[in-house]
Amino acid sequence: MNISGLSFNALPPIDLPFRYFLTAPLFVIFCGIYLLSYGDSLWLSRWTTGMLTLTHAFTLGFISMVMMGALLQLLPVIGGVGIKKPRFIATTCHMLHCVGTCSLLLAFNAPTLWWLYLAIFCLTLSFLIYIVALIQVLIKKLSQGDSVIGFRLAVFSLMVVVLLGLGLLSRNLDLTPFGLSKLTLLADKHFTNIHAVWGIAGWGSLLIIAVSFQVIPMFHVAPSFPTRIKKTMTWFVMLFLISYIFFPVWAMPLLFVVHAIFAFSLLSVLARRKRRIIDTTIRYWQFAAIALLLSNAIYFFPESWLMLTNDASIFHNLAHKKELILAAIIIFGYLVSVIQGMLLKILPFLSYTHLQQRCLMDFSAMQYIPNMHEFFTKRQASILFYLHCTSSVLLLAVILENQFYYFFAVLLIIEFLYLFFLSLKTVLLYFQVSNKISLSSKG
Partner 1 sequence: MTSIPQYMTSKHRECDDYFTEAESAVAKENWSEATGKWQQFSDELALHLTQEEETLFPQFEQATGMTAGPTQVMRMEHQQMRALVQDLDNALNNKAKDEYLGLSETLMVMMQQHNMKEEMMLYPMMEQHLVNGEQLISSFEQS
Q: Which residues bind partner 1 (CB under 8 A)?
A: 1, 3, 6, 8-9, 77-78, 80, 143-144, 214, 218-219, 221, 274-278, 349, 352-353, 356, 359-361, 363, 366, 371-374
In sign, the C-alpha dihedral spanning 321, 327, 329, 332 is negative
By beta-carbon proximity to partner 1, the closer residue of 312 and 361 is 361
Q: Min. distance of Cβ 276 from partner 1 in angstroms?
A: 5
Q: Min. distance of Cβ 185 from partner 1 in angstroms?
A: 45
By beta-carbon proximity to partner 1, the closer residue of 3 and 249 is 3
Measure the CA–CA gap between 363 and 285, rounded to whole angstroms.
Answer: 36
Helices vs strands, H then E, count in the chain: 18, 0
Measure the CA–CA gap between 5 and 7, rounded to whole angstroms.
Answer: 6
Q: State the virtual CA torsion across 368, 277, 24, 235 in degrees, nearest 10.
A: 120
Q: Are 399 and 328 in contact (CB under 8 A)?
A: yes
By beta-carbon proximity to partner 1, the closer residue of 18 and 240 is 18
In sign, the C-alpha dihedral spanning 243, 247, 249, 250 is negative
Among the listed residues 216, 207, 326, 203, the one whose alpha carbon sits nearest the alpha carbon of residue 265: 216
By beta-carbon proximity to partner 1, the closer residue of 144 and 192 is 144
Q: Min. distance of Cβ 140 from partner 1 in angstroms?
A: 13
Q: Min. distance of Cβ 274 from partner 1 in angstroms?
A: 5
Residue 24 buriedness (CB in 10 A; 0-12 / 13-18 / 19+): buried
Q: Min. distance of Cβ 17 from partner 1 in angstroms?
A: 15
Convert 401-433 to b/e letters by CB count within 10 Å (16 or more is b).
eeebbeebbebbbebbbbbbebbeebbebbeeb
Counted residue by residue, the chain has a size of 443
Q: Min. distance of Cβ 214 from partner 1 in angstroms?
A: 8
By beta-carbon proximity to partner 1, the closer residue of 122 and 350 is 350
By beta-carbon proximity to partner 1, the closer residue of 19 and 354 is 354
In what helix (H) or strand (E) does residue 271 lie, and over which residues does it extend? helix 248-271
By beta-carbon proximity to partner 1, the closer residue of 170 and 353 is 353
Q: Min. distance of Cβ 277 from partner 1 in angstroms?
A: 5
Q: Min. distance of Cβ 265 from partner 1 in angstroms?
A: 20
Among the listed residues 389, 420, 336, the one whose alpha carbon sits nearest the alpha carbon of residue 63: 336
Residue 257's CB is within 10 A of a number of other CB atoms, namely 15
